[in-house]
Copies of this chain bind each other. A is one copy, B any other.
Amino acid sequence: MIRIGMDIGGTGIQIGAVDEQNQIIAKTSIPTRTDIPFQDQVDQMVSAILGMMQPELNPLLTLDQVASVGAGIPGLANNQGIVIKCTNLGWNYAPLREEFQKKIDKPFYVENDANVAALAESVAGVSSGTSSSVFITLGTGIGSGIIIGGRIWSGAHGIGGELGHMILELDGVPCTCGNRGCVERYCSATAIIRMAREQVSVHPDSLILRLAEQDPLKINAKIVIDAAREGDPTAEKIYRRFIACLAQTIANVINFLDPEMIVLGGGVSKAGDYLLSSVREAVPQYVIFNDQPMPHIELATLSSDAGIIGAAMLSSDPD
C-alpha cells in the first residue's frame, strides 16, 4: 500500500509516493501554473502522478496500490476537500477533491501546509513520540500547525492555527491582513528585512550592507543573522529584537496551550543552533509558571520532503 502526497506551493508542486514506513519511493514535480484554469491545474497534477507510475519508471508502482492522496496547500481548506482560500494560487472555494476524484477515484484529503508539516514532524520527525505539539514556520510569513492527541487540530471551524495573525502589539505595525501588530510583522523573515532596511539607513557602515553588496534590496534574513553572528552591532540589535518578539510569541503559545513540544521550521529556522539557543534562553522569562516543566523547543528535522510525507499521512488522519 502506498499513499500519494502533494506539496502544493506558490511556485512548484512536489509530488511523492510514500510507503508504509513513511519513505518516499518515487518523486516528481511540476511548476505551479496560476495562468491556467483550475481544472487544468488539477489535470496536470493527475498527469504527474500517473507519469510517476509508468511501468518503465517504477514497475512496482501502480494505481491499484494507492490507498489515498493528500495535498498540502498554502491556504485554507475544509474537510469537504474544498480549498476555501489560497491567495498564492488564486483559488477561492476550489473543489479540489471533487475535481481530482473525477480522474483518480481515491480518498483525497487537503490541509493547510503548516498543519501538514506539523503532522509530518509529529509522526516521522522531531516531535514523533509526543502527543501534542505546535509547529511554527518562520518564513516570509508565519504559519503554525497544532497537534493534539496525535491529530491535527485546525479548530472547530477549521480557521485555527493562524499564529501569524495573533496580535502581539496593540496598535502596532500595520499588517497585510488589515489589522495592526500581528505576530507576522515581528517574527518573520519579512520583519527581519524590514528592521534591517530601517537600520542600515542610519548605520550604513553595518556588515549587513556589505554582505548585501551595498544594496538594501538584497538584504535577506540570512544576511542579517549571519552579520549578527559575526558580532555586527546593528545586526545584533535587530536580532535581539527579533528574538524577544519570537520568544514572547512562543511563550504565548505555552501560557495558553502548553503543548508537549514547540517545533520551529521554515526558512529562518535554517539559522539552526544559533537561533535555537537564543530562543531557548529567552522564552522562560515570559512563561508564567517558569519554575515548572515546560515544552521542549526544537528545530524541525524533516527536510523539504516533510510537505510530501505529511500530505501522504493525511490519509490516515482526516481532520
Contacts and interface: CB of A to CB of B under 8 A. Distances in A.
Interface of A: 76, 84-85, 130-132, 144, 146, 148-149, 153-163, 165-170, 172, 177-179, 181, 186, 244-245, 248, 251-260, 285-289, 292-295
A149 B132 CA distance: 14
7 contacts: A130-B156, A163-B255, A166-B252, A166-B255, A166-B256, A170-B245, A253-B256
A89 to B, nearest CB: 16
A170 B167 contact: no
B162 A256 contact: yes
Contact of A154 (B245, B258, B285): B258
A258 B289 contact: no
Copies of this chain held together in the complex: 2
Main secondary structure, interface of A, reads: loop
Contact of A148 (B131, B153, B244, B285): B153
A186 B170 contact: yes
Contacts of A76: 289, 292
Nearest to A257: B160
Given A148-B153, A170-B245, A288 B162 contact: yes
A191 to B, nearest CB: 12
Given A167-B286, A177-B288, 14 more contacts: A76-B292, A148-B153, A155-B259, A156-B295, A157-B293, A157-B295, A158-B258, A159-B294, A162-B289, A167-B252, A169-B181, A170-B244, A178-B285, A256-B257
A134 B95 CA distance: 32
A202 B98 CA distance: 63
Given A148-B153, A157-B294, A170-B186, A163 B289 contact: no
